[in-house]
């Protein structure tokens, strides 16, 4: 069987399995998730061994430290996957919920029932924990899922796929409900993206190049997890101790993730007081700065002049763009031109300006006096996320179980006919 026919078989299997999954009860789905948690714990040593092969190959191939961190299945990461399984299992099941029921003048009761999307194809890079997060969310929402991780995590993902298959088998559900592609051939993805008769939606999660390639090839709808160009604006009269702590956390804690801070905007009234402290604290942690002319002399020895391409760039490293702005209007204009609809934040003591920023900054999460690092499904109470949608149809922001369902109209009558 050639690759095209192999992928057609994978997709057709997922479509057939999705019918069984859509009919599964909440208790059965939760049992799969809890079995997954147990097997992850029992097979911890085998998962670490498979992951070590990937990490060793990636290191030999010159992968940078931030990406190696994302690739590594540490005990802490495995613990977080186990916790995610349990948290999602503990959530209410949205499938079958009827919302917004209303009575028409003819007595017909009309509502909306929440239903699975069907078959979801997820294409992603580097982080093998995404395999579990994506699968458990799709399963809880009653979907079948086809998972295609990056070649750099192939061994890790195959080991995690075995956990999912065994958990499904324990609960009497078909293994094609959750399939992890057993190939690193890029042609496999191209073939899958043409199978809209089987696959309902594709979710790419990774670098800008991956997402553009998927959007260009896909014949089914795409939910984009686009790049994370995240800004923090420090308003006039802000609490500068708070602003410094937020800036440090947002940039330094995990610089390689999509919700890390990429650009600091500072009101000109606060620049001389704040930026030398930013230069000392963040520069001491290894951060280098791409600075506008006004901020350059204030940031210390790790600063260099910014080029135009530094604003609107996702560094994924310990590099931070910095710009001094005259007021909030200028900050919002900069965000509108250079943001990616991912995460924006403001440090301010003024309620009115905070509310204006919440209204006008266009992003999937807008925060007041908090780190951009909170744009994460677990942190926002979703248990886990399949990605952060930076497009507004049909979800905007972290996508948990509810965002992996749709609604259909349902009606209850008593013999009504249309005149």
Rounded Cα distance, 300 and 278, in Å: 9
CA distances from 174 to 13, 14, 170, 171, 179 (A): 9, 9, 10, 9, 10
> How many CB atoms neighbour CB 203 within 10 A?
25
Rounded Cα distance, 36 and 167, in Å: 5
For residue 20, give the nearest of 114, 130, 135, 139 by alpha carbon: 139
At residue 65, the pLDDT reads 86
Indicate the burial class of 241 (C-beta count within 10 angstroms; 0-12, 13-18, 19 or more): exposed
3-state SS assignment for residue 75 = helix
Largest CA distance in the chain: 79
Rounded Cα distance, 236 and 82, in Å: 43
- Residue by residue, DSSP assigns 96-143 as T-EEEEEE-TTS-EEEEEEEE--EEEEEE-S-THHHHHHHHHHHHTT-
Rounded Cα distance, 136 and 154, in Å: 19
* Bridge partners, residue 319, by sequence: 288
Indicate the burial class of 361 (C-beta count within 10 angstroms; 0-12, 13-18, 19 or more): buried
At residue 263, the pLDDT reads 98
Which residue's entry shows tokens 């939606």? 201
Percent of the chain with pLDDT over 90: 88
Rounded Cα distance, 289 and 295, in Å: 10
Are the C-beta atoms of 102 and 109 separated by less than 8 Å? Answer: yes
**Sign for the pseudo-dihedral over CA of 345, 346, 352, 357:** negative
Which residue's entry shows tokens 């690092």? 373
Range 88-96 average pLDDT: 95
The model carries a pTM of 0.85
Tokens coding 347: 């440090």
Residue 4 has pLDDT above 90, yes or no: yes
Q: What CATH superfamily classification does 230-374 receive?
A: Aldehyde Dehydrogenase; Chain A, domain 2 (3.40.309.10)
The two beta strands, 388-389 and 397-398, are: antiparallel
Rounded Cα distance, 341 and 403, in Å: 18
Confidence of residue 251 (pLDDT cuts 50, 70, 90): very high
Residue 362 has pLDDT above 90, yes or no: yes
Distance separating the N- and C-terminal Cα atoms of the chain: 55
CATH for 3-223+399-412, options being 3.90.660.20, 3.40.50.300, 3.90.1560.10, 3.40.605.10: 3.40.605.10
Eight-class DSSP state of 225: B
Which tens digit of pLDDT belongs to each residue from 270-309? 999 999 999 999 999 999 999 999 999 999 999 999 998 9
Tally DSSP H helices, then E strands, for the chain: 13, 16
On the CB side of 350, CA atoms within 13 Å amount to 10
Eight-class DSSP state of 323: E
Write the CB contacts of 282 (distance below 8 Å, at least 6 apart in sequence): 247, 248, 251, 252, 289, 320
Which residue's entry shows tokens 């308003």? 235
The domains of the chain are located at 3-223+399-412, 230-374
Rounded Cα distance, 226 and 341, in Å: 8
Q: Which helix (H) or strand (E) holds 92?
A: none
Which tens digit of pLDDT belongs to each residue from 130-140? 999 999 999 99
Percent of the chain with pLDDT over 70: 100
Which residue's entry shows tokens 């001389």? 272
Eight-class DSSP state of 312: T
On the CB side of 23, CA atoms within 13 Å amount to 7
* Bridge partners, residue 265, by sequence: 233, 323
Tokens coding 47: 């998962």
Mean predicted lDDT score pLDDT of the chain:
95
Which tens digit of pLDDT belongs to each residue from 122-167? 999 878 999 999 999 999 999 999 999 999 999 999 999 999 999 9
At residue 207, the pLDDT reads 78
At residue 191, the pLDDT reads 97
Are the C-beta atoms of 157 and 180 separated by less than 8 Å? Answer: yes
At residue 67, the pLDDT reads 84
At residue 208, the pLDDT reads 80
């Amino acid at each position: 069987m050639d690759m095209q026919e192999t992928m057609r078989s994978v997709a057709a299997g997922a479509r057939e399995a999705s019918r069984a999954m859509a009919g599964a009860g909440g208790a059965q789905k939760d049992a799969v998730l809890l079995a997954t948690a147990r097997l992850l714990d029992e097979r911890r040593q085998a998962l670490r061994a498979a992951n070590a092969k990937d990490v060793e190959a990636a290191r030999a191939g010159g992968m940078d430290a931030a990406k190696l961190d994302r690739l590594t299945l540490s005990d802490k990461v495995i613990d977080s996957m186990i916790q995610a399984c349990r948290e999602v299992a503990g959530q209410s099941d949205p499938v079958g919920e009827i919302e917004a029921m209303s009575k028409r003048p003819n007595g017909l009761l009309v509502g909306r029932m929440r239903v699975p999307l069907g078959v979801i194809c997820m294409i992603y890079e580097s982080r093998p924990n995404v395999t579990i997060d994506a699968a458990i969310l799709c399963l809880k929402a009653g979907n079948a899922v086809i998972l295609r991780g990056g070649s750099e995590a192939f061994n890790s993902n195959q080991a995690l796929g075995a956990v999912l298959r065994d958990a499904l088998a324990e609960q009497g559900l078909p293994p094609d409900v959750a399939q992890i592609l057993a190939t690193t051939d890029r042609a496999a993805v191209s073939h899958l993206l043409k199978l809209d008769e089987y696959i309902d939606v594709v979710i790419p999660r990774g670098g800008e190049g991956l997402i553009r390639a998927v959007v260009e090839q896909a014949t089914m709808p795409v939910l984009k997890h686009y790049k994370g160009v995240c800004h923090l604006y420090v308003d006039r009269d802000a609490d500068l101790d708070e602003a410094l702590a937020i800036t440090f956390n947002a940039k330094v804690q995990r610089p390689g993730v999509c919700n890390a801070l990429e650009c600091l905007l500072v009101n000109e009234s606060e620049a001389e007081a704040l930026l030398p402290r930013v230069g000392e604290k963040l520069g001491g942690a290894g951060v280098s700065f791409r600075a506008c002319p006004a901020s350059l002399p204030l940031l210390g020895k790790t600063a260099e002049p910014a080029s135009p391409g530094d604003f609107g760039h996702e560094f994924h490293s310990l590099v931070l763009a910095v710009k001094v702005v005259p007021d909030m209007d200028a900050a919002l204009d900069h965000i509108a031109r250079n943001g990616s609809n991912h995460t924006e934040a403001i440090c301010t003591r003024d309620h009115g300006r905070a509310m204006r920023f919440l209204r006008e900054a266009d992003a999937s999460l807008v925060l007041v006096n908090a780190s951009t690092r909170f744009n994460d499904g677990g942190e926002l109470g979703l248990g886990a996320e399949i990605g952060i949608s930076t497009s507004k149809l049909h979800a905007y922001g972290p996508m948990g179980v509810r965002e992996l369902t749709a609604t259909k109209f349902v009606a209850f009558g008593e013999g009504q006919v249309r005149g």
